[in-house]
Amino acid sequence: MILGLMLTASAGTPSAATPSGSVTIPLQDLLPLYAKHQETTPPAPPTDALVVKSQLKGRLTAEALLVEAHFEVEVLADERWTQVRLLQLDADTYLTGVPTLNGATVGALDGQLTLVTNQSGRYTVDVSLAVRPTGSGSERQVQLRFGAHVAPVPLRLEADATAFTLVEPVSGGEDIEVYPRQGALRVGWRNAAARKVARQVVRPPLEPSIPTAQATWVSTLEGKATVRVRYSLRLDREQELELALPEGHRLERVLLDSVPLVASVKDDTLKLKVAPTRFGETEATLEVVLARDLGVFHLSGRLKLALPRVSWPVATLRARAHFPTVFNYRRDGGSMEEYEGGEQAEAQDAQTPLPGKVIHFRQYLVSASAPTLELGYSVDISQSYFR
């Protein structure tokens, strides 16, 4: 039998060296050539795809088992559709996160988490699932089943031992390996009994008060006087504080914990909203600076001094007067009494050195009244040549 074949060779640009035409050869000579052509066709792969790596991590919550699954899939088939079934999606298993892959799609298909592609290559699949438990009361149980193409692997489980008691598997510690049984992972737990919360004791509001106050008078020989009063406040929330300024005084500035406050005086009364600078603290410092004109000092005379009347009670008030050194001073009246300064007063004077002759006064339990002081003065002739 003779079989005729028409062979046309065209490689690149035709030339005289490349013949064309037809040839007739016997069948027994053609068959070996045809068999050789079949051998050059690559054989199909033994399987379309393989799951080469699987990892599962889980974390228990009061309402579900949260799972992070990692798969690496090697797809061998090319130019035809391949499905790789990774996990069973039962009624209580919910996908919460799936990846976006180039050349492949991952999602739910026929009740299973499936990778679908028509291109060969290696694909990394990271998905998140929430497995809701079955059971009533405080005891819960979940089950996660593997897909047909995945070999079962253990689940790395994190469980807070103070919040959960594991029933299945029975194991101690917070990091547990849960091994599959019959192609499924099973976890059972019991929520720990809620701790009794101690009844919160509401602290009664702190009565605002002023444990201590420090006042300082400074005057020049021309009678220009400045009064600085520092109040140590005790309070636990914002409170209103009212100061009635003595007659003839004008307000220079007000500071709360060294921060200037915008304040206005109406009818010789200063009203402020004060509070601790930091939350939870119960102390603050208010500083008030006043000025007044005492008048020119004569050879002798009398000074009437006063401090603001404060709406909060003051436990202890200490005052210092820095007046010209050319005079002798004596207390003639008022609510404040003179006392010897002692070590505490000397230390305070050293911290804030001021010119003039220093006289110390004090008053205890000041409430709803303005501290007052009357001083008589006369020229000091103790150092005079004639006496």
Structural domain including 156 reads: 49-191
Q: Which residues of the chain have pLDDT under 70?
A: 1-19, 36-42, 135-137, 170-175, 193-203, 342-352, 383-387
Say what the pLDDT of residue 40 is: 59
Please indicate, yes or no, whether residues 162 and 220 belong to a single structural domain of this protein.
no
Q: Is 276 left (phi over 0), alpha (psi -120 to 50) or beta?
A: beta
Place of tokens 């309070």: 235
Same-domain check for residues 263 and 365:
yes
Number of H helices, E strands in the chain: 2, 29
The answer to whether residue 203 is domain-embedded is: no
Does 110 reside within a domain? Answer: yes
Residues 157 and 120 in one domain: yes
Same structural domain, 74 and 155: yes
Same domain flag for 73 and 186: yes
Task: Give the CA dihedral 94, 55, 139, 97, nearest 10 degrees.
Answer: -20
Residue 345, domain member (yes or no)? yes
Q: Give the containing element (helix H, strand E) for 314.
A: strand 314-323
Cα–chain center distance at 332: 61
Report if residue 17 sits inside a domain.
Answer: no
E-strand ranges in 132-208 read 139-145, 155-158, 164-168, 175-178, 184-191
The beta-strand segments (E) located in 334-383 are 337-338, 357-366, 372-379
Structural domain tally of the chain?
2
Report if residue 39 sits inside a domain: no
Instruction: Compute CA 355 distance to the chain's CA centroid, rounded to the nearest angstrom.
Output: 51
Both structure tokens of 94: 């919910």
Q: Are residues 347 and 241 in the same domain?
A: yes
Residue 127 and residue 56 share a domain: yes
pLDDT at position 234 is: 92
Give yes or no for a contact between 350 and 385, defined as CB atoms under 8 angstroms apart.
no
Residue 64 is part of a domain; what is its CATH number? 2.60.40
Tokens 């000091």, located at residue: 380
The 10s digit of each residue's pLDDT in 202-224 is 667 788 999 999 999 998 888 88
How many Å apart are CA 24 and CA 302, to the nearest integer?
148
Kindly give the residue spans of alpha helices, DSSP state H, lying in 317-381. Answer: 342-351
What's the confidence (pLDDT) of residue 135?
66
Contact 42, 26 (CB under 8 A): no
> Does the pTM exceed 0.75?
no
Domain boundary, last residue among 135, 160, 191 = 191
Q: What is the CATH number of the domain that holds 263?
A: 2.60.40.1730
- Residues 183, 243, single domain; the answer is no
Q: Is residue 336 part of a domain?
A: yes
Asked if 305 and 217 touch (Cβ cutoff 8 Å), the reply is yes
Whether residue 266 is contained in a domain is answered as yes
Residues in Cβ contact with 277 at an 8 Å cutoff, skipping those fewer than 6 apart: 256, 257, 259, 284
Residue with tokens 């690496």: 72
Same domain (yes/no): 324, 217? yes
* Domain's final residue, options 157, 191, 225: 191
Q: Is residue 7 part of a domain?
A: no
Residue 113 CB neighbour total at 10 angstroms: 25
pLDDT recorded at residue 384: 57
Residues 226 and 144 in one domain: no
**Are residues 370 and 233 part of one domain?**
yes
Choose the final residue of a domain: 191, 226, 245.
Answer: 191
Same domain, 349 and 251: yes
> Can you spell out the DSSP letters for 257-269?
TTEE----EETTE
